[in-house]
Amino acid sequence: MPFKNEVSLMSVNQGLTNGMTKSKLGVMSKERLREWLAGKGWSQEEAAHRIGVSLRTFTRWLAGKSRPRSLLVIYRLRDLGIK
């Protein structure tokens, strides 16, 4: 079942055609992700599902072991309200 606010490939393509790049979007820090998650009131599992990644991937981001790198994932995070 799709969630409200899911990003579409169209918005990613619009960003690419508007000159957005990973460097312009910035890198999501674990602190920003934690603040965002706390503000949403979601579980880690729900947040991972809404973003479209595995729970393992999301917990690795929160632990600082890796970071979101895919433009599609970064756009999903933006559409879900992380700044």
pLDDT at 79 over 50: yes
**Token pair for residue 26?**
């910035």
Task: Band the pLDDT of 12: cuts 50, 70, 90.
Answer: very low
SS3 at position 36:
helix
In CATH terms, 29-83 corresponds, of 1.10.860, 1.10.287, 1.10.260, 1.10.700, to 1.10.260
**Token pair for residue 2?**
């799709």
Q: What is the pLDDT of residues 40-66, one digit of tens each?
A: 999 999 999 999 999 999 999 999 999
Predicted confidence at residue 50, as pLDDT, reads: 94
The domain limits of the chain are 29-83
Distance in angstroms (rounded) separating the CA atoms of residues 9 and 71: 10
